[in-house]
Structure 1
Amino acid sequence: MSLVLDNVTLTYPDGDRDRVLAVDGVSLSVPRGRLVGLTGPSGCGKSSVLSVAGTLITPDSGHVEVAGATVEDLDAEDRARLRREQVGFVFQHDNLLPDLTALEQVLLPVHLAGGRPSRHRARARDLLAEVGLADAVDRRPGQLSGGMRQRVNIARALMGEPAVLLADEPTSALDSHRAAEMIDLLVRLVSEHDVAALFVTHDMRALDDADEVVRMLDGQVAELTHAR
């Protein structure tokens, strides 16, 4: 398994003394090449689960494993390195920089990691071609549609060859047609790049193509469905 959460519990401060239980004993696992959808009503804890899976938040208790590394055994610096090298994030909003071209956006993780972007241009172009943007490498965000910007976001998340791909409401800003295309794209890329993918969504149609669906309620896993 590339992503494992075992009996994870997470609380947040609420006032001076109290804490709110956001995640209550959640267990789930995602092997490479599989796409798992995480859904449930607002406030059920699904975004907190995604943050724990991405090592952005340390849970109060439980076991978290990412790409074979036991997260609770790592210090903050090692968690940051694991996150940078093994986790790709697809955000709800594309977070593209307005002055960079699509190619430069995809190369940004290389630059931030201290690498030489010039050595990775071919891979960045290949990724943009994989998401259907071979002819848009020199366009800036203002010249791209919402769906195209989200495709750049996905290509950028895959640039570092992560073992785990996490997506937070990747279709929320898209119409139904483009949302369906985006999920089809994710299904194909998860298989081709052999990543373990977990995505949060309120869009029930998006869950039809997931390998598994985890439904949460009040911080707990209420139902696990093997969709296909």
Structure 2
Amino acid sequence: MTPEIVISLPFEGRWLARNSPARRVPSHGTDLMGGRYAIDFIGVDHRHRVAERRDWRTLLATEPVERFFAYGRPVLAPADGVVVQVHQGEIDHVARRSQLALVPYALGQAARLRQGVTALAGNHLVIAMRHESAFVALAHLRAGSVRVTVGEKVTAGQRVADCGNSGNSTHPHVHVQVMDGPDASAAQGVPMAFRRFREWSRRADHFQIRESGLPEEGAVVEPLPIIASDMGT
């Protein structure tokens, strides 16, 4: 079995875990695009809400991305390394929570898959990890927000972009995956875990502190300060 790669959560504050590999593998229902162990995170407020309000648009139409707490939040490098791929230029789509609004979106899924990585990942970047033979990708970034360039060295916790809704995304979130190569169209997914975080289970009001692991599906997580001796990647 491939050993898991331990990285830091790529944000501050509280985020909701979706499509967690702790629930199933492949986590997104496919091995394509290096996403076997990928996970999504949606920014929430202190009440664990994903957006500031719900109204008729939530039930019947699309919604402005600015409603969502994740939109525009800083995205941080999950590990020390070198940026080996950057793609910008994709727009941020309107958000879709309504089942009616999701129908035309679902019908376009096959076309996006045929278009390849950029149509699925949207604005994204890939970091070659310094201490591992692995590559970590961050996807669905806000249009124009990527702050790094190919060849640039980054350190864990450095702001590299903002959360957006580009690519194959129904509402603002950050998609994280670790791969065995820099090109998602040819790479295989690699198991990962996250360093030191607080986790609120969806089945309980209290939280637990985890030194390393994967959030359960539907849990809310918040990164905690990393002890210097733990910064191995």
Decide: shared fold, TM above 0.5. Answer: no
Structure number with larger C-alpha Rg: 1
Higher helix share: 1
Question: What TM-score, normalized by structure 2, do the two folds share?
Answer: 0.28
